[in-house]
Amino acid sequence: MFLTLYRGLTSCAAVPLTALLKRRLRKGKEDPLRWREKTGTASAPRPQGPLIWLHAASVGEAQSALILIEKILWHDPDLHVLITSGTVTSARLLSERLPSRALHQFAPLDHPAWVRTFLEHWQPDLALWLESELWPNMLGALSSRKIPVLLLNARLSEASFHSWQRLGGMPRQILQAFSLILCQTETDAVFYRQLGAERVEVSGNIKYSAAPLPYDPQKLAALQKSVGARPLWVYASTHAPEEELAARLHQRLKAEIPDLLTVIVPRHPERGDTLAAQLQNHPDLSLCRRTGQHHLPPEGTDLYLCDTMGELGLFYRLAPLAAIGRSFSADGGGGHNPIEAAQLGCAVLHGPHVQNLQEIYDDMAAAGACLPLRDEEEFYQTLRTLLTSPQYLAAAQRRAEAFVAGQQDILNGIWTALLPYLSVLHHKQARHA
């Protein structure tokens, strides 16, 4: 019943969905040249030969997908990969980092006609979806076309599980479209099985296997020369009001560490103007903004606002410790990926609200690979200890790096599960050659 109702409502929703996209366009949340991709209208031709479609909703999933895409393309030189995502930020990341034989499009919204237009153009031979997006119309259309669909790195929070349970038999009908579901944890696997999924396995979290964030060596050398031996820390992927929190912490720490540099990297760089205005309300703190000409922080800078795109890997290599944003944020938090910082040798700190990546943070905490912070006072005390005790800081860095290094075999398990489906494509291609 719920599935029939959903399909009926979405089939009548072209006008409001188009209006929604145009509102987002006016707010700068859609690409003005490519927003029609979200209505299923392709802006690129389909490449010849077998095509694997990989869907990664946003930046985190896209980052995780890159190492898998490279492995797929290396495995078969005749394959092409289409990767879709939903955000402008993820599109920018992928445009810079996708290898040859891979291309990006925005994923269509789940309107039946837009789904049909998308699939008729791209005609994927295999679909790989990452994490937790379950679009009923698209999955139904893939199933009716007999296109195998795998859900990789699947996760399902307890709240989402209970929400799905209230929809009767609808989850079972949707999940039957998946040939295989590879879950991050056994808890996720239990949830999916209880909702009616038939073939479910636990693979671990592919985020552990993602390639380290990229950086420009020349920019890093310039930053290191500018910063010199100053003590510093980075507050990464911040959301409001974490930037103000960083300023207050710096004010307190400056009394004991006068040459401290606090690097603030907002999750959404377009907030740069607003943040610069806010941070300039601290007249006793000197602010340098990186945007534009990649300004280097001059001597005496207290706060370095890095509102640029795609440079987080640079700052993780610059700083010995990183606090992960959206764990003290006003929107209820959820946390961003701590693995990226740990991979690059940072001691990892985070606030109490990390429910979106709870399993990762719990595993890291159990191994002593991250430092949970309950409140602002504990944040201050922990920063003070790390910044004034080189031995304590170095030990925290070693634990974080060792934890991530111990997880690197996860990609091999996912690859083993994926190989039979890739082999089918290879044999199909050989028959038609």
| 276: its two tokens | 């610069």
d(CA 182, CA 64): 15
CB atoms within 10 A of CB 352: 14
61 is a catalytic site residue? yes
Helix 358-366 to helix 390-405 angle (10° resolution) is 120
Burial of 164 (0-12, 13-18, 19+ CB in 10 A): buried
Integer CA distances (angstroms), 15 to 38, 39, 86, in order = 13, 11, 19
- What torsion, rounded to 10 degrees, do the Cα atoms 333, 337, 338, 343 define? -170
Name the residue with tokens 């996708």.
Answer: 98
Q: Which of 30, 37, 61, 311 is catalytic?
A: 61
Which letter, b or e, does each residue of 3-38 get, where b requires 16 or more Cβ atoms within 10 Å of its Cβ?
beebeeebeebeeebbeebeeeeeeeebbeebbbbb
Handedness of CA 402, 406, 410, 416 (dihedral sign): positive
Containing 85, the helix (H) or strand (E) segment is: strand 80-85
d(CA 70, CA 411): 12
Give alpha helix (H) positions in 50-157: 59-75, 88-97, 112-122, 136-144
The catalytic residue positions are 61
